[in-house]
Homo-oligomer: A and B are copies of this chain.
Amino acid sequence: MMMGGQGGGGGGGGSGFWGDRVVEKLMSIQGPTHELPPLDMAEKNFSGRARLYIGNLTPDTTEDQLKELVSQFGETGETFFNAEKHFAFLRMSTRAEAEKAKRGLDGQMRGGRPLKVRFAPHQAAVRVSNLGPWVTNELLHHAFSVFGDLERCLVLVDDRGRSKHEGLVEFERKNSALEAIKRCQEGCFFLTASLRPVVAELVESAEDDDGLQEKMLNKRSQEFHVEREVRSCLDPQIKGGKMGFSLGMRSRS
Protein backbone atom coordinates (compact mmCIF):
# COMPACT_ATOMS: atom_id res chain seq x y z
CA MET A 1 0.00 0.00 0.00
CA MET A 2 1.03 3.60 0.39
CA MET A 3 2.86 3.15 3.66
CA GLY A 4 6.31 4.59 4.05
CA GLY A 5 7.69 1.12 4.29
CA GLN A 6 10.73 1.92 6.42
CA GLY A 7 8.93 0.22 9.31
CA GLY A 8 11.20 0.31 12.32
CA GLY A 9 9.89 -2.01 15.00
CA GLY A 10 9.96 -1.11 18.65
CA GLY A 11 10.50 2.54 19.54
CA GLY A 12 8.01 5.30 19.15
CA GLY A 13 9.60 7.94 16.94
CA GLY A 14 11.86 7.78 14.01
CA SER A 15 11.96 6.77 10.40
CA GLY A 16 9.15 6.37 7.92
CA PHE A 17 7.67 9.68 8.85
CA TRP A 18 8.32 12.22 6.17
CA GLY A 19 7.51 9.88 3.34
CA ASP A 20 4.13 9.11 4.82
CA ARG A 21 1.49 11.06 2.93
CA VAL A 22 -1.28 10.23 5.39
CA VAL A 23 0.70 11.33 8.44
CA GLU A 24 1.70 14.51 6.64
CA LYS A 25 -1.94 15.27 5.97
CA LEU A 26 -2.79 14.59 9.58
CA MET A 27 -0.07 17.02 10.64
CA SER A 28 -1.49 19.66 8.35
CA ILE A 29 -4.86 19.59 10.10
CA GLN A 30 -3.45 19.50 13.58
CA GLY A 31 -4.77 21.54 16.48
CA PRO A 32 -7.92 21.58 18.60
CA THR A 33 -11.20 20.70 16.90
CA HIS A 34 -13.48 22.91 18.97
CA GLU A 35 -14.67 24.88 15.97
CA LEU A 36 -15.42 22.76 12.96
CA PRO A 37 -17.56 24.30 10.21
CA PRO A 38 -20.89 22.56 9.51
CA LEU A 39 -20.72 19.80 6.94
CA ASP A 40 -22.65 20.06 3.70
CA MET A 41 -24.96 17.06 4.01
CA ALA A 42 -26.48 17.44 0.55
CA GLU A 43 -26.10 14.38 -1.65
CA LYS A 44 -23.08 14.34 -3.96
CA ASN A 45 -23.95 13.68 -7.59
CA PHE A 46 -22.90 10.40 -9.24
CA SER A 47 -21.90 8.90 -5.91
CA GLY A 48 -21.35 5.24 -5.16
CA ARG A 49 -24.85 5.10 -3.65
CA ALA A 50 -26.36 5.80 -7.06
CA ARG A 51 -24.67 2.93 -8.90
CA LEU A 52 -26.73 0.14 -10.43
CA TYR A 53 -25.96 -3.39 -11.54
CA ILE A 54 -27.93 -4.29 -14.66
CA GLY A 55 -27.83 -7.91 -15.75
CA ASN A 56 -29.45 -10.49 -18.02
CA LEU A 57 -29.10 -8.26 -21.08
CA THR A 58 -29.71 -9.82 -24.47
CA PRO A 59 -26.47 -10.53 -26.35
CA ASP A 60 -27.23 -7.89 -28.98
CA THR A 61 -27.67 -5.05 -26.49
CA THR A 62 -25.13 -2.27 -26.99
CA GLU A 63 -23.82 0.12 -24.36
CA ASP A 64 -25.55 3.02 -26.11
CA GLN A 65 -28.88 1.24 -26.14
CA LEU A 66 -28.56 0.48 -22.44
CA LYS A 67 -27.72 4.09 -21.61
CA GLU A 68 -30.65 5.31 -23.64
CA LEU A 69 -32.96 2.91 -21.83
CA VAL A 70 -31.78 4.09 -18.41
CA SER A 71 -31.66 7.77 -19.29
CA GLN A 72 -35.46 8.00 -19.24
CA PHE A 73 -35.12 7.89 -15.44
CA GLY A 74 -32.36 10.47 -15.09
CA GLU A 75 -28.85 11.43 -16.00
CA THR A 76 -26.41 8.56 -16.45
CA GLY A 77 -22.72 8.68 -15.63
CA GLU A 78 -19.75 6.31 -15.60
CA THR A 79 -20.62 2.94 -17.13
CA PHE A 80 -18.86 -0.39 -17.07
CA PHE A 81 -20.25 -2.57 -19.83
CA ASN A 82 -19.42 -6.26 -20.12
CA ALA A 83 -20.71 -7.33 -23.54
CA GLU A 84 -19.61 -10.93 -23.19
CA LYS A 85 -21.28 -11.60 -19.90
CA HIS A 86 -24.27 -9.38 -20.66
CA PHE A 87 -24.19 -7.10 -17.66
CA ALA A 88 -23.24 -3.56 -16.78
CA PHE A 89 -22.59 -1.23 -13.86
CA LEU A 90 -23.98 2.23 -14.35
CA ARG A 91 -23.81 5.32 -12.17
CA MET A 92 -26.76 7.72 -12.04
CA SER A 93 -26.88 11.31 -10.91
CA THR A 94 -28.79 10.76 -7.65
CA ARG A 95 -29.90 7.91 -5.45
CA ALA A 96 -33.54 8.83 -6.12
CA GLU A 97 -33.04 8.53 -9.88
CA ALA A 98 -31.28 5.20 -9.45
CA GLU A 99 -34.23 4.00 -7.36
CA LYS A 100 -36.64 5.05 -10.08
CA ALA A 101 -34.59 3.30 -12.75
CA LYS A 102 -34.45 0.13 -10.65
CA ARG A 103 -38.20 0.12 -10.07
CA GLY A 104 -38.91 0.91 -13.68
CA LEU A 105 -36.56 -1.60 -15.28
CA ASP A 106 -36.14 -4.55 -12.93
CA GLY A 107 -38.07 -7.49 -14.32
CA GLN A 108 -38.92 -5.70 -17.56
CA MET A 109 -38.97 -8.17 -20.46
CA ARG A 110 -36.57 -7.38 -23.28
CA GLY A 111 -35.98 -9.88 -26.07
CA GLY A 112 -37.67 -12.59 -24.04
CA ARG A 113 -35.52 -12.03 -20.93
CA PRO A 114 -36.33 -10.18 -17.72
CA LEU A 115 -33.82 -7.44 -16.94
CA LYS A 116 -32.19 -7.76 -13.54
CA VAL A 117 -31.51 -4.44 -11.85
CA ARG A 118 -29.98 -4.07 -8.37
CA PHE A 119 -28.14 -1.45 -6.39
CA ALA A 120 -24.43 -2.17 -6.68
CA PRO A 121 -22.59 -2.31 -3.38
CA HIS A 122 -20.68 0.89 -2.62
CA GLN A 123 -17.06 0.14 -3.41
CA ALA A 124 -15.54 2.45 -0.85
CA ALA A 125 -17.84 2.39 2.17
CA VAL A 126 -16.31 1.93 5.62
CA ARG A 127 -18.23 1.15 8.78
CA VAL A 128 -16.56 2.75 11.78
CA SER A 129 -17.22 1.92 15.41
CA ASN A 130 -15.85 2.51 18.92
CA LEU A 131 -16.31 6.26 18.40
CA GLY A 132 -16.28 8.47 21.47
CA PRO A 133 -19.30 10.58 22.44
CA TRP A 134 -17.77 13.78 21.08
CA VAL A 135 -17.17 12.48 17.59
CA THR A 136 -19.60 14.18 15.19
CA ASN A 137 -20.16 13.98 11.44
CA GLU A 138 -17.85 16.94 11.12
CA LEU A 139 -15.01 15.49 13.20
CA LEU A 140 -15.26 12.12 11.48
CA HIS A 141 -15.15 13.87 8.11
CA HIS A 142 -12.23 16.05 9.21
CA ALA A 143 -10.22 13.04 10.38
CA PHE A 144 -10.98 10.58 7.58
CA SER A 145 -10.31 13.14 4.85
CA VAL A 146 -6.62 12.37 5.33
CA PHE A 147 -7.18 9.10 3.47
CA GLY A 148 -8.94 10.64 0.46
CA ASP A 149 -12.02 12.53 -0.70
CA LEU A 150 -15.32 11.66 0.97
CA GLU A 151 -18.81 11.34 -0.48
CA ARG A 152 -20.74 10.91 2.74
CA CYS A 153 -19.91 10.79 6.41
CA LEU A 154 -22.27 10.05 9.24
CA VAL A 155 -22.21 9.30 12.97
CA LEU A 156 -25.33 7.28 13.79
CA VAL A 157 -27.60 8.60 16.54
CA ASP A 158 -30.35 7.09 18.68
CA ASP A 159 -33.89 8.43 19.10
CA ARG A 160 -32.68 11.16 21.40
CA GLY A 161 -29.91 12.36 19.12
CA ARG A 162 -27.12 10.76 21.14
CA SER A 163 -24.23 9.05 19.42
CA LYS A 164 -24.47 5.31 18.85
CA HIS A 165 -20.66 5.36 18.71
CA GLU A 166 -20.66 4.06 15.18
CA GLY A 167 -20.85 5.59 11.77
CA LEU A 168 -20.34 5.36 8.06
CA VAL A 169 -17.63 6.85 5.89
CA GLU A 170 -18.08 6.66 2.13
CA PHE A 171 -15.04 7.58 0.07
CA GLU A 172 -14.96 8.45 -3.60
CA ARG A 173 -12.28 5.85 -4.30
CA LYS A 174 -11.77 2.33 -3.09
CA ASN A 175 -8.05 2.88 -2.42
CA SER A 176 -8.90 5.49 0.18
CA ALA A 177 -11.22 3.08 1.97
CA LEU A 178 -8.64 0.31 1.97
CA GLU A 179 -5.98 2.69 3.23
CA ALA A 180 -8.22 3.85 6.09
CA ILE A 181 -9.02 0.28 7.11
CA LYS A 182 -5.39 -0.79 6.94
CA ARG A 183 -4.28 2.13 9.12
CA CYS A 184 -6.96 1.45 11.71
CA GLN A 185 -6.08 -2.25 11.78
CA GLU A 186 -2.33 -1.91 11.91
CA GLY A 187 -2.20 1.02 14.27
CA CYS A 188 -4.52 3.14 16.36
CA PHE A 189 -6.48 6.09 15.02
CA PHE A 190 -7.59 8.38 17.86
CA LEU A 191 -10.08 11.11 16.97
CA THR A 192 -10.21 12.83 20.38
CA ALA A 193 -8.04 12.89 23.49
CA SER A 194 -9.37 9.58 24.79
CA LEU A 195 -7.37 6.47 23.96
CA ARG A 196 -10.27 5.00 22.05
CA PRO A 197 -9.11 3.76 18.66
CA VAL A 198 -11.53 3.72 15.74
CA VAL A 199 -12.49 0.28 14.50
CA ALA A 200 -12.98 0.24 10.71
CA GLU A 201 -14.25 -2.40 8.32
CA LEU A 202 -15.37 -2.51 4.70
CA VAL A 203 -19.12 -2.54 4.02
CA GLU A 204 -19.64 -5.16 1.37
CA SER A 205 -23.37 -5.23 0.92
CA ALA A 206 -25.55 -2.81 -0.97
CA GLU A 207 -28.13 -0.73 0.82
CA ASP A 208 -31.51 -1.61 -0.54
CA ASP A 209 -34.92 -0.47 0.64
CA ASP A 210 -36.98 -2.77 -1.50
CA GLY A 211 -37.39 -5.55 1.01
CA LEU A 212 -38.45 -9.11 0.25
CA GLN A 213 -40.39 -9.04 -2.97
CA GLU A 214 -42.67 -11.83 -4.11
CA LYS A 215 -40.56 -12.37 -7.23
CA MET A 216 -37.51 -13.15 -5.07
CA LEU A 217 -39.08 -16.32 -3.64
CA ASN A 218 -38.49 -19.82 -4.95
CA LYS A 219 -42.10 -20.66 -5.66
CA ARG A 220 -41.35 -24.22 -6.69
CA SER A 221 -40.55 -25.05 -3.09
CA GLN A 222 -43.00 -27.43 -1.43
CA GLU A 223 -42.81 -25.32 1.73
CA PHE A 224 -43.95 -22.25 -0.18
CA HIS A 225 -46.92 -24.17 -1.44
CA VAL A 226 -47.95 -25.41 1.99
CA GLU A 227 -47.35 -22.15 3.86
CA ARG A 228 -49.29 -20.11 1.34
CA GLU A 229 -52.19 -22.55 1.01
CA VAL A 230 -54.14 -20.67 3.64
CA ARG A 231 -55.16 -17.08 3.94
CA SER A 232 -53.94 -14.74 6.64
CA CYS A 233 -55.78 -15.57 9.82
CA LEU A 234 -56.59 -13.44 12.82
CA ASP A 235 -57.14 -15.65 15.81
CA PRO A 236 -58.17 -14.00 19.05
CA GLN A 237 -58.19 -17.36 20.84
CA ILE A 238 -54.70 -18.62 20.03
CA LYS A 239 -56.00 -22.15 20.58
CA GLY A 240 -58.26 -21.93 17.52
CA GLY A 241 -57.61 -23.98 14.43
CA LYS A 242 -55.08 -22.51 12.08
CA MET A 243 -57.10 -23.20 8.96
CA GLY A 244 -60.02 -20.98 9.84
CA PHE A 245 -61.10 -18.15 12.05
CA SER A 246 -61.99 -18.39 15.66
CA LEU A 247 -64.80 -16.02 16.07
CA GLY A 248 -65.02 -14.97 19.70
CA MET A 249 -63.00 -12.26 21.37
CA ARG A 250 -60.80 -13.03 24.31
CA SER A 251 -62.71 -12.51 27.55
CA ARG A 252 -61.67 -9.44 29.49
CA SER A 253 -63.02 -10.57 32.82
Residues on A lying within 8 angstroms of B by beta carbon are 3-17, 22-23, 26-27, 29-34, 36, 38-39, 41-42, 96, 100, 103, 107, 132-139, 142-143, 146, 153-157, 159, 161-163, 167, 183, 186-195, 197, 204-205, 208-217, 219, 223-243, 245-253
Interface of A is mostly: loop
**Residues of chain B lying within 8 A (CB to CB) of residue A235:** 187-190, 197
New A-B pairs, 15, CB < 8 Å, besides A134-B217, A187-B234, A190-B242: A9-B253, A12-B246, A12-B247, A13-B246, A15-B247, A16-B249, A26-B245, A29-B231, A32-B228, A38-B213, A159-B205, A162-B212, A187-B238, A190-B234, A193-B227
Partner of A214, one of B38, B159, B208: B38
**Residues of chain B lying within 8 A (CB to CB) of residue A103:** 41-42
A186 near B226 with CB under 8 A, answer no
Give chain B nearest CB distance to A248 CB in angstroms.
Answer: 4
**Residues of chain B lying within 8 A (CB to CB) of residue A161:** 212, 216
A215 near B38 with CB under 8 A, answer yes
**Residues of chain B lying within 8 A (CB to CB) of residue A12:** 237, 239-241, 246-248
Closest to A142 in B: B232
